[in-house]
Structure 1
Amino acid sequence: METITIILILLLAVVVSGVVSRMLPLPVPRPLVQIALGGVIGLAANWRVTLDPEIFFLLFLPPLLFLDGWRIPREELFKDGKTVLELALGLVVFTVLGMGLIINWMIPAMPLPVAFALAAVISPTDPIAVSAIAQRVPIPKRMMHILEGESLLNDASGLVCLRFAVAAALTGVFSIGDAALNFLWVALGGIAIGAGVTFLVVRIKAGVSGRFGEDSGSQILISLLIPFGAYLVAEHLHCSGILAAVAAGLAMGFAEGSAQAMAATRIRRNTVWDAIQFTANGIIFVLLGEQLPLILAGAAETVRITGHHEPGWLAVYVLAINLGLAALRFIWVWVSFRFTLLTHGRTRQQPNWRLVAAMSFAGVRGAITLAGVLTLPLAMADGSPFPARDLAIFLAMGVIIVSLIVASIGLPWLLKGLEMPAESSQLAEIEAARIAAAKAAIAEVERVEHVLAEGQEDADLYVEIAGRIMDIYRRRIETRSPIAEDAAAARRVDRIEKELRLAALRAERAEITRRSRQRELGSDGARKLIRELDLMETRYAG
């Protein structure tokens, strides 16, 4: 009963955080509100949630990373793929090496392998926190896509670095060659497993649905199980479950490009996933806040590890680590932008420092950092306590909170009045797809009307209704916007109109899907148009 009560309280805190964040006059990110509410719960209640890292990873990360990979615009990700890889791989290694040395120099009591382990868990950025900030701060789309792509991929590289740092701390042995080979296996294996599991499940699901019909509830449940299946298979084969979940999401985006599922299934599935995303994101940060009182209570003991006696030194270390992370990220992003300009022949142009600074401030830490630092072992191989574990957990949590606060304050100031490079608009291709879909619908209505009216006594009624529907589509072509029309009162007219409208909507969807497959229309625009058609179809298919 106590466990159920705790879960309900956490869910209530997530709901309250959404209301409070909208009520505040200042643009405070929702994660900060959730951390604060979690802290209140931790102080007011006499129970504590024991976070098992393996359970935490399994319950929260696969579905969230899967959904991020599923919904990220693939064209934008591939367009800036080079930049994303530079940030997700090069920056992580640069951060681990640089911050590991800085932390060990700053806190000599923390052994070098443990310092590298701490640097590894604070190197990945968090798409959840960045998205929450973006709700209150208008981050340019292209920058947001780069940040999302980076955070999807750098989780795996950061956690792999953590694995080798912990192994070095436990055994005292580290091999660069073994680490490189293991990284390739972990990364490539995770990607292959995630994509393979998704395509296999989708193929089986399509075959069963095509033969026996589709059940919306089962389809939604299958989509929920895919990320967990990919994660567990990858972890069983000692690959990256994180990358497997991301790859499964990306593969799901490709597989769903054919729009095979029923309209009602897609609408309900989107609603379910939206609820899961909101709930899981919120619980992660509420749990972080709930852990803070216990960690702060041990601050006096933790600070002694550093050789000091005043707890204020912990705040100094947290701020210094955040400054170090920002400086290393600024240097890497500046060099990356400068190299991009050189490759495009603009040798005299310098990167915009405000843009580079905004990219640096947007490197917010979150759930991966929290979950990663909790995986630090409790004891060494000889049974002695793992050195500086509590200190590492405290510093990691401090980095999460400070990075959120700094981003929520610094990003609006840096982005205000900042002129970004022109972004290609999707309006033209969306409108072209809308017109093409309307033309396909007119042709299909005309064809179906002839088939249905053949041999019917009231064939004129079919012609009249079909003409009315085709007029709607013709006006859509002329005005570039759909025109809604109420269903006829008579049951006969309503049934005929329903059949013809459903035929037209299916034709529109087929045309949009074709354009998306042939890259004449972006996946983001295609998803928007398909959702419009789904909503219209549910009106007539019910």
Structure 2
Amino acid sequence: MGAIWIILVLLTGVVLSHWIARALGNRIALPLVQIAAGAAIGLTSDLGVKMEPELFFVLFLPPLLFLDGWRVPKKDLQENAPSILSLAFGLVFFTVFGLGALLHLMVPAMPLAVCFALAAVLSPTDVVAATAMAANVPIPRRMLRVLEGEALFNDASGLVCLRLAVAAVMTGSFQFWPSLGSLVWAAAGGIAVGAALSLLVSSIKFWIVARLGEDTSSQILISLLTPYATYILADSIGCSPVLAAVAAGMMMSWVELSGRALALTRIRRNAVWETLQFALNGAIFLLLGEQLPDIMSRVSASAAESGHPGLGWLALYVLAITGALAVLRFTWVWISVAISLHRHPAPAGGRTRPNWRLVTAMSTAGVRGAITLAGALSLPFVLPDGAPFPSRDLVILIAAGVILLSLIVANVSLPSLLDGIEGPPEPHRDLQERNARIEVAKAAIAALASAGERGDSGDGVYLAAVASVADSYRHRLSQLQPEATMPVSDTIERHDEEELHILALKAERAAIVKLSRGHRVSADLAQKLLRETDLAEAAFQAASEG
């Protein structure tokens, strides 16, 4: 009953914490509310969750990373690829070396390799925390996409650096070239494994569906199992399971744009995934909070490991490290933006220097989350010779403190930093969407015209149904194009009209897929239009069967 009780408590806590955040008017970010709720659970109950890092990574990361890779706008990733890769890899390495050296100066009692391990733990931002913190703050679209893209990929680089630092502690040496080879293999192999396995699963699934028909529940289960299979396979061959899960999600997004799945399958699958995301995101922060009382109980031991006993010194370390992370991030972002402005000069009268408020907001929004705590907890307990792993409790306590402080600072400062700020100009997405809607409506009308020619039985009833459905699309065109007109339709058979609506929607879907494959619309816009056709088709299908 122990595991079942823990699951029930966590799920209840997710719901209650969400209600509390809403009752507070969302003035306190949901992750902070959930961490506080988790701490209350830890203090007032004997839940006693033992947070095993490997189990945590396997249980929580695959579906969340897969879903983020699936839903992240691919066009935005391509447009912001230099910035995202610079932050996800360049900033991580810059932080590991810079913060690692600073830690060794601040805490001489901590071995240098352990300093780099702590820096690696703190270097990646958390995709769950970043997305949650941005939920109620009006962040410019491009900035939000960069933050999400960075958090998708920097877990991989940070965890690889952590693995290398731990290996140096365990062996007492560091080999550069083998380490570089491991990094390249982890990144390239993870992406290849994730994309290949996701494509293979989709191909097998479509092959079976073409012969046996599509079962919605089976399709949903396959989508849930795919990220776990990808993560475990990549981890077993030494690749980055984080990048594998992200790549699998991105490949699944590309496959889904074919529109081959049933509309009902996509609607139900979206509902399942949104519920799963809501539950896992909340459970992560509740677990983080639940661990805090136990972590705080080791304050004395952690202080002794630092060589400066006392809670004040530990608080000073947390403040200094959080400040150092912000300064390193600010420096990197400022230089990156300055280089970008130099390479792509703004129009006459435009900005020639980085906007300090935007750069500060980017620095503040790089919050740490449960991945950081799990990474700290994953440190071994003992060395190969049986001696305790040096400064392990101190690393865990500092990591927990930095997580809390980064979330609090972001919650307090982001609204004022972003108030009235204007990001870089966005492309004309409204025009792209309008043109896409016009084209898919015309495709539907063409399909209806063909259906009318094939299905005319001479009594005029079927043609009246065709005319009625076509009228609705001409009305849509009249709103999108002022020159379009809407003819009046005759009395029709309701059943024929519903079937023709479904036919037209299938034509819409085919046109959307064609537009996406031809790179004439972005992937996120194509997914939005497909969701609309799915909902409409499901409604007409239900009416037709009823």
Normalised to the residue count of structure 2, the TM-score between the two structures is 0.95
Moved over 3 A (4+): 345-348
1:132 aligned counterpart, secondary structure: helix
Query: Given the alignment, which residue of 389, 394, 404 partners 2:392?
Result: 389
- The whole-number CA distance in structure 1 between the counterparts of 2:334 and 2:218 is 48
Residue aligning to 1:247? 247
Q: Report the counterpart of residue 446 of structure 1 in structure 2.
A: 449
**What does residue range 22-171 of structure 1 map to in structure 2 within 5 Å?**
22-25=22-25, 27-171=27-171
Residue in structure 2 matching 1:415, options 418, 429, 450:
418
Letter in 1 for 2:83: T
- Bigger CA drift: 298-307 or 73-82? 298-307
Distance (Å, rounded) in 2 between the aligned partners of 1:170 and 1:59? 27
Partner residue of 1:377? 380
Distance in 2 between the 1:536 and 1:281 partners?
30
Find the residue that maps to 1:139 and give its secondary structure: coil
Equivalent residue for 1:485? none
- 1:458-488: CA deviations, max 9, x gaps? x31111111111111111001139xxxxxx9
Tell me which moved more, 432-441 or 158-167: 432-441
Aligned positions of 1:214-253 closer than 5 A: 214-253=214-253
Choose 271-280 or 411-420, whichever is displaced more: 411-420
* Mean CA deviation greater in 413-422 or 211-220: 413-422
Task: Report the Cα offset of residue 397 of structure 1.
Answer: 1.0
Consecutive unaligned residues in structure 1, runs of 5 or more: 482-487
CA distance in 1, matches of 2:200, 2:101: 45
Q: Which amino acid in 2 is paired with 1:395? A: I
Answer whether contact 1:449 1:500 (CA < 8 A) is retained: no
Q: Deviations over 1:104-142 (max 9, x none)?
A: 111111111111001001100112112112111011110
Which stretch of structure 1 is more off in the superposition, 434-443 or 342-351? 342-351
Separation of aligned partners in 2, 1:105 and 1:358: 28
Write the distance in 1 (CA, Å) between the matches of 2:2 and 2:177. 49
Q: Distance in 2 between matches of 1:9 and 1:233?
A: 31
Q: Is the 8 A contact 2:441 2:477 kept in 1?
A: yes
Structure 2 Cα separation of the partners of residues 236 and 420 of structure 1? 42
Q: Is the contact made by 2:66 and 2:246 (CA closer than 8 Å) also made in structure 1?
A: yes
**Which residue of structure 2 lines up, in the alignment, with residue 267 of structure 1?**
267
1:130-529 alignment runs, 5 A limit: 130-345=130-345, 349-453=352-456, 456=457, 459-480=459-480, 493-529=493-529
From the superposition, tell whether residues 316 and 270 of structure 1 become closer, same or farther in structure 2 (CA, over 3 Å).
Answer: same
Render the CA deviation track for 1:26-67: whole Å, top value 9, x for unaligned.
Answer: 521111111000000000002310011111110000110011
DSSP 3-state at the match of 1:501: helix
Give CA deviations for 1:220-261 in whole Å, capped at 9, x if unaligned: 111111111111111111111111001111111111111111
Shift of 1:143: 0.5
Q: Is the 8 A contact 2:301 2:393 kept in 1?
A: no
Counterpart of 1:484? none
CA contact (8 A) 2:130 2:151 kept: no
Query: Which one-letter code corresponds to 1:193 in the other structure?
Result: V
Structure 2: distance between partners of 1:531 and 1:236: 36
1:360 deviation in Å? 0.4
Equivalents in 1 of 2:65, 2:22: separation in Å? 26
One-letter code aligned to 2:152: L
Q: Which residue of 1 aligns with 2:11?
A: 11
- Deviations along 1:68-120, one digit per CA (max 9) or x if unpaired, are 01100001101111111111111000000011111111111111111100100
Q: How far did 1:348 drift? A: 9.1
Cα RMSD over matched residues? 1.6
Task: Report the secondary structure of 1:258's partner residue.
Answer: coil
Inter-CA distance 348–288: structure 2 relative to 1 (3 Å threshold): closer
Between stretches 439-448 and 322-331, larger displacement belongs to 439-448
Residue 308 of structure 1: how far off its partner (Å): 2.4
Letter in 2 for 1:514: K
Number of positions where the alignment pairs a residue of Structure 1 with one of Structure 2: 531
Q: Once the two structures are aligned, what percentage of the paired residues are identical?
A: 51
The offset of 1:345, in angstroms, is 4.4
Does the aligned pair in 1 maintain the 2:288–2:373 contact within 8 Å?
A: yes
Deviates more, 1:154-163 or 1:292-301: 292-301
Return 5+ residue gaps in structure 2 as ranges. Answer: 482-488
SS at match of 2:138: coil
Indicate if the aligned counterparts of 1:66 and 1:245 stay in contact, CA closer than 8 A. yes
Answering whether residue 537 of structure 2 is matched by residue 537 of structure 1, we say: yes
Find the aligned partners of 1:443 and 1:150 in 2 and give their Cα distance.
43
**Residues in 1 aligned to 2:291 and 2:270: alpha-carbon distance in whole angstroms:** 32
Q: Which amino acid aligns with 1:244?
A: A
Deviation, structure 1 residue 320: 0.8
Alpha-carbon distance in 2 for matches of 1:249, 1:16: 30
Query: In the aligned structure 2, how far is the partner of 1:361 from the partner of 1:191?
Result: 29
